[in-house]
Amino acid sequence: MSPLYPDIEPYDHGLLDTGDGNLIYWEACGNPAGRPALVLHGGPGSGCSTTARRYFDPDAYRIILFDQRNCGRSLPSAADPETDLSLNTTWHLVADIERLRLHLGIDSGLLLGNSWGSTLALAYAETHPERVAAIVIAGVTTTRRSEIDWLYRGMAPLFPEEWHRFRQAIPAGMQGQDEDMVAAYHRLLNDPDPATRLKAARDWHDWEAASILLTAPEGLPRRWADPAYLLTRARIITHYFVNGAWLEDGALLKNAARLSGIPGVLLQGRFDIEAPLVTAWELARAWPQSELKIIEQAAHSTSNPDMTAAIVAATDRFRDLPQK
C-alpha cells in the first residue's frame, strides 16, 4: 500500500505578477484553514509535480505549490531563447516565496524541499527564519562549488562511457571542454541555432540519466520526453550552476545558526550518488534542531518507497506543531 495520501486537485490557483515581467504559477490544495506548507521543487527548473501534493495530510495542511521562475506553467518559459534569465536567481526565488506568502496571507509554515529545493528552502529560511515553522528536506544539497563539481566531473569514474559521450558532445576546440562542462553546455544551450540548443539539452539529460537509471527501476520521468521541458530545465540548471547559484561558497552551512529554533528533518538516501551523504551530515552538525534520517536502500529519487514513506512521516510529525 502506498504511503502517499490520495490524489487531490487544487481548490485555487493563479499567476502571481512579480512586477518585473515574470508570472509565477501557484496552486493551493488540501484544507484552506490548515497548516500552511510550501513545496519547493528541484532542478532548478524541474517544475512542481502532482505527486508532491500527496506528501501531506489534506485534512490538516494547506498545501501550496509553485513553479519557480521560467519553468512549468510560469511565464515566460526558459525554453524560449528570448527569455531573459538574468532576472532568475536564487535571490529572485527567495523574494518570490516571500511575495507569494504575502499574497496568500500566510504568517508562517512548513517548507518541503527536494534536491535543489533543499538549497532554496535553506536560503529562504536563513533569510526569513521568523516565517518558517519547520523544514523537511530530502536529497540534501547546498549547491557549493564542490557539489556542482562532483555532478559534472567527480562522478565521471563511475560512468566512464556516459562521461565520454557527455564530453564528446562538446564541439572540438570549445573553450572549457575539459575544465568546465557546465560553462560549455551553458554556451550551447544559449546558441542561436535551435538544433544546437535541443541537442545540448538532450546530451545534458543523457548524462544525468546515467545516475538516475542506476537506482530507479521505474525509469526516467515522463516529462523528459518533452523537448520543451528538456530545454527549459537544462537552460535553467546551467544558468544557476555556472553562477554558483549566486551564493557565497558554503554560505548556507556557514549561516546555519540562523535556523536556530526551527525544527527540521533531513532525509538522505545512503546510495544517493547525485547528492552524497556528507552534505546532509555536515548540515545536521551545524543545525542542532535538525534530525538526520538515513534511508538505507534509497538513492536520490523520492519515488523510492522508503524515501516516500519517510517524507510522509516527517510531514505527519509536524502536522500538529503549534503555530509560531
Whether the CB-CB separation of 301 and 216 falls below 8 Å is answered with: yes
Q: Which helix (H) or strand (E) holds 317?
A: helix 305-317
Within 10 angstroms of residue 229's Cβ, the number of other Cβ atoms is 22
Q: What are phi and psi of 53, to 5 degrees?
A: -65, -25
How far from the centroid of its chain's Cα atoms is residue 192's Cα? Answer: 28
Give the active site residue among 203, 272, 290, 301: 272
Q: Which helix (H) or strand (E) holds 293?
A: strand 290-295
Residue with cell 546515467: 210
The one catalytic residue in 74, 77, 300, 301 is 300
Could you give the count of Cα atoms lying within 13 Å of 122 in the half-sphere of its Cβ? 32
Task: Indicate if 300 belongs to the active site.
Answer: yes
272 in active site: yes
Rounded CA gap, 293 and 27, in Å?
30
Choose among 23, 2, 21, 25: nearest CA to 12: 25
Among 46, 115, 118, 290, the one annotated catalytic: 115
Q: CB–CB of 90/123 below 8 Å?
A: yes
Tell the residue number behind the cell numbers 575539459, with chain if given: 178
Where in the sequence numbering do the catalytic residues fall?
115, 272, 300
